[in-house]
Amino acid sequence: MKIIILDGNKIKNTKHFHKAFIKALDLPRSYGKNLDALNDVLTSAQEEIGIIAVNTSLLSEALGTRWQSFLQLMEDVDLEKSNIHFTIPF
């Protein structure tokens, strides 16, 4: 399983947010660095992927309206893919 930690203490903007996915999933340079591209990556993934969001109030501040869009994306992906696991621990 590949694990992606989205830590609000480290992610200060959308660039950092997408870098977390690029690094953990070894995405190509052509990755679009937007939520549509992330959706494509996650819905086409065959391997197990765990996404853990911590310090979410800071993530929300850093991403602005994109945070809510990301949460909706994860809800949609969860309905479609059983190999993608999204968690906010507390």
The string of pLDDT tens digits covering residues 57-83 is: 999 999 999 999 999 999 999 999 999
pTM (two decimals): 0.93
14 pLDDT band, cuts 50/70/90, is: very high
49 pLDDT band, cuts 50/70/90, is: very high
Inter-residue contact 51 to 87 (CB < 8 Å): yes
Inter-residue contact 67 to 8 (CB < 8 Å): no
Domain map (residue ranges) of the chain: 2-87
- Those residues whose C-beta lies under 8 Å from the C-beta of residue 18, and which sit 6 or more positions away, are 31, 33, 34, 38
pLDDT at 32 over 90: yes
Superfamily of 2-87 according to CATH: Barstar-like (3.30.370.10)
